[in-house]
């Protein structure tokens, strides 16, 4: 028996990194999982195969979360094929690497691309999922934010601002969807994913600046997502998962 027996989760950006780790953890706890992807089809299908090997149902669903119609179709398909929806994890995200002091380098295209996925996408997915989650009697939404949205430092100023928007959106959704749906966010620090491949000096500097002397694994973050997804008396909160980096 798992904590998520008979539950269905939809995880955006579920084929790689934090999304994949969360999908596998949820499946190990008894959930069936819809794995969203936009470009990482091979990785999403591999994640689906690994979930099925755990004895759970799963499907890969292609959708750009910044496209409202695509999001509606994704949610409808997940419910049609898996029967219900109890948990949404808004994990899909993007960035552009622009130094904070390079104000001219942060183009309109970068702002729009980052906000369309990180902020607008989180809203679109939540809006589409809410009636489906309510139909099951209630459930959870967990948004993946970032400490960048709290401290104003990260891959770009637009990324920081978009994650601050996710944190504020989490609070608004929590108030508006209570008492049926708990809405929370995770704010990771640096996580060992493909975003930081090859950035050895950056990773080492973060290890040294972190009290726990390492950077997060996707599994570290997935465990935090799982904790919020099974707790029915936490809502509107942002849980920092950074090994003490922001202390």
H-helix or E-strand spanning residue 11: strand 8-11
Closest by CA position to 106, among listed 118, 93, 97: 97
Torsion angle in degrees (nearest 10) through CA of 242, 155, 165, 127: -90
* Residues tagged active-site: 159
Alpha helices for 178-217 (secondary structure H): 200-209
| Cα–Cα dist 200/209, whole Å | 14
Contact 16, 39 (CB under 8 A): no
Phi and psi dihedrals of 55, rounded to 5?
90, 15
Contact 243, 216 (CB under 8 A): yes
| Cα–Cα dist 10/32, whole Å | 9
Please give the biggest Cα pair distance in the chain: 55
Contact 224, 241 (CB under 8 A): yes
């Amino acid at each position: 028996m798992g904590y998520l027996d008979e539950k269905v989760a939809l995880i955006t950006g579920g084929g790689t990194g934090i999304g994949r780790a969360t999908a596998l953890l949820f499946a190990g706890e008894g959930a069936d999982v819809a794995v969203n992807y936009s470009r990482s089809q091979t990785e999403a299908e591999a994640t689906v195969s690994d979930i099925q090997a755990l004895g759970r149902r799963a499907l890969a669903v292609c959708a750009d979360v910044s496209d409202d119609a695509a999001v509606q179709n994704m949610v409808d398909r997940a419910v049609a094929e898996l029967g219900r929806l109890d948990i949404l994890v808004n994990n899909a995200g993007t960035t552009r690497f622009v130094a904070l002091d390079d104000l001219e380098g942060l183009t309109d295209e970068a702002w729009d691309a980052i906000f369309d996925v990180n902020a607008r996408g989180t809203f679109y997915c939540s809006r589409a999922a809410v009636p489906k989650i309510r139909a099951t009697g209630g459930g959870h939404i967990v948004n993946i934010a970032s400490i960048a949205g709290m401290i104003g430092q990260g891959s770009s100023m637009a990324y920081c601002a978009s994650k601050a928007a996710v944190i504020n959106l989490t609070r608004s959704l929590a108030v508006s969807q209570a008492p049926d749906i708990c809405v929370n966010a995770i704010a990771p620090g640096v996580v060992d994913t493909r975003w930081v491949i090859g950035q050895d000096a950056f990773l080492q500097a973060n290890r040294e600046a972190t009290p726990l002397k390492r950077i997060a694994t996707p599994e570290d973050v997935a465990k935090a997502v799982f904790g919020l997804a099974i707790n029915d008396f936490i809502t509107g909160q942002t849980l920092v998962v950074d090994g003490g980096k922001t202390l």
